[in-house]
A and B are shown apart, each in its own frame.
Chain A
């Protein structure tokens, strides 16, 4: 019992450290990458290559004046930024980050919450993220914030459907909601060289997932809830200081979680063909975690790349894409994968 508690705590700490480091690293990457894309230099004064810049940013956030509008709905206004980080901080528990390891004769699965409902629970927790945006939009007592909140609620619900459909399709050949089994299913190769990753047979599903993931994280081209040129800053217009920073962190952490989910569902998770996992538990852990993080990092870079390349959708176009394109395509993909599984091709 105590041993189990300790291992779980260690696993949670490990993930938390990684997630919380993602934020400053991503801030730096985003700023440098956008500068690179836009033919600028980007932050290069604080530390070598501007590496200490995120720290300076964080200090700035902490020391900024924290303003609460007088007419704001105080309880909800204060709760909203907290809710922004909550889903991102809980969903990682369901993502496996390595093979089962043996420590002192006990088999320890490298996943925090090894439950049967796995990915369903993950989606359920992730779906709570919308409340933070809606609450922020409502409680700020600002019409632009309200607009952002309304946009956020309808956008996230619409794309959650497509996201769930894509995820379900990825689970069909595996026959389980457990993400560790999804990873195990993707081990090995096709024709000797192609990894047995879901992305190849389910490319349509992957695209649906990817687009929906962009919409769920409110990133360009789906950043309508905060569309700065239209809604000033959308739902977080009235937030300053660390409250604003929490929204900011929430966005980056959900990006990281969704990237991890994408890597797990479609790119073999912690597994990479040709990598032999060590028998020593800490080496296996390092290997699994390293491979997963590498994949996550590539996804995050992709997020950044897309953000600085595309214009933004208009709201009705966004809805049209979600309901008239992604949803039918998602259903089609689901049926297709089901049929392929029945035919025994997968």
Chain B
């Protein structure tokens, strides 16, 4: 049964990921991305990391992708698709993505070949409490740095958004 569920959601994740890239309508792309993320969340649960799964759905599908949709709906889709069709930009992006893909697959195969897997995660180690303990003790510094980075991003976004809107500060966002 587990294999069946895995196959179903793995297939779903891969197909919908393909749709994200291939589909012409950006709204459909975003909706497919939702399916991809939810499917991987299910895979996370099967790997024994429900916390990660819940966070993925909560943060990515529940918030970030909605913002994607929000922006896409505000933009004039037809004009944008015309504008960005083709060009070196697209090719470059494809090249980089391919490189990352090769790197990931390569490193996993390498590990499988050499038989030196990282230490496997146990359900106990990814349960919420030990996870939190690790995050706030061993990995406190990276955690704080990431927090700082996010803060900088928020400030940057605010500054960028404000510049254009200087005329009417009343109407935010």
The interface of chain A, by Cβ under 8 A from chain B, is 73, 76, 115-117, 120-121, 123-125, 127-128, 130-131, 134-135, 137-138, 146, 149-150, 153-154, 156-157, 160, 164, 177, 316, 319-320, 323
28 contacts between A and B (CB under 8 A): A117-B50, A117-B51, A120-B54, A120-B55, A121-B50, A121-B54, A123-B62, A124-B54, A124-B61, A125-B57, A130-B66, A131-B31, A131-B34, A131-B66, A134-B66, A134-B70, A134-B73, A138-B69, A138-B73, A153-B67, A157-B62, A157-B66, A157-B67, A160-B62, A316-B170, A316-B172, A319-B173, A323-B172
Selected from B53, B61, B73, B173, the residue in CB contact (under 8 A) with A149 is B73
The interface of chain B, by Cβ under 8 A from chain A, is 27-28, 31, 34, 50-51, 53-55, 57-58, 61-63, 66-67, 69-70, 73-74, 127-128, 170-173
Majority secondary structure of chain A interface residues (helix, strand, loop or mixed): helix
In whole angstroms, how far apart are the Cα atoms of A125 and B173 in the complex? 26
In whole angstroms, how far apart are the Cα atoms of A298 and B130 in the complex? 39
When distances are taken between beta carbons in the complex, the residues of chain A under 8 Å from B51 are: 116-117, 120
B58 near A150 (CB under 8 angstroms)? no
When distances are taken between beta carbons in the complex, the residues of chain A under 8 Å from B70 are: 134, 150, 153-154, 157
B66 near A177 (CB under 8 angstroms)? no
A79's nearest neighbour on chain B, judged by CB, is B31
Tell me how far the C-beta of B51 lies from the nearest C-beta in chain A, rounded to whole angstroms: 5
Selected from A73, A127, A134, the residue in CB contact (under 8 A) with B69 is A134
Take A115-B50, A154-B173, A319-B173 as given contacts and tell me if A123 and B58 are in contact as well, using a CB distance cutoff of 8 Å: yes
Take A117-B51, A134-B73, A153-B66 as given contacts and tell me if A128 and B173 are in contact as well, using a CB distance cutoff of 8 Å: no
Task: Give the 4 A-B residue pairs with the shortest CB-CB distance, closest first.
Answer: A127-B62, A124-B57, A124-B58, A120-B54
In whole angstroms, how far apart are the Cα atoms of A37 and B29 in the complex? 47
Tell me how far the C-beta of A341 lies from the nearest C-beta in chain B, rounded to whole angstroms: 15
A116 near B62 (CB under 8 angstroms)? no
A139's nearest neighbour on chain B, judged by CB, is B27
Take A123-B58, A128-B57 as given contacts and tell me if A146 and B73 are in contact as well, using a CB distance cutoff of 8 Å: yes
In whole angstroms, how far apart are the Cα atoms of A128 and B27 in the complex? 16
In whole angstroms, how far apart are the Cα atoms of A135 and B27 in the complex? 9
Tell me how far the C-beta of B32 lies from the nearest C-beta in chain A, rounded to whole angstroms: 12
Take A137-B73, A316-B170, A316-B171 as given contacts and tell me if A127 and B57 are in contact as well, using a CB distance cutoff of 8 Å: yes
B54 near A127 (CB under 8 angstroms)? no
In whole angstroms, how far apart are the Cα atoms of A127 and B66 in the complex? 10
When distances are taken between beta carbons in the complex, the residues of chain B under 8 Å from A121 are: 50, 54, 57
B68's nearest neighbour on chain A, judged by CB, is A153
B54 near A319 (CB under 8 angstroms)? no
B74 near A150 (CB under 8 angstroms)? yes
When distances are taken between beta carbons in the complex, the residues of chain B under 8 Å from A154 are: 70, 173
B27 near A319 (CB under 8 angstroms)? no
When distances are taken between beta carbons in the complex, the residues of chain A under 8 Å from B69 are: 131, 134, 138, 153
Tell me how far the C-beta of A148 lies from the nearest C-beta in chain B, rounded to whole angstroms: 11
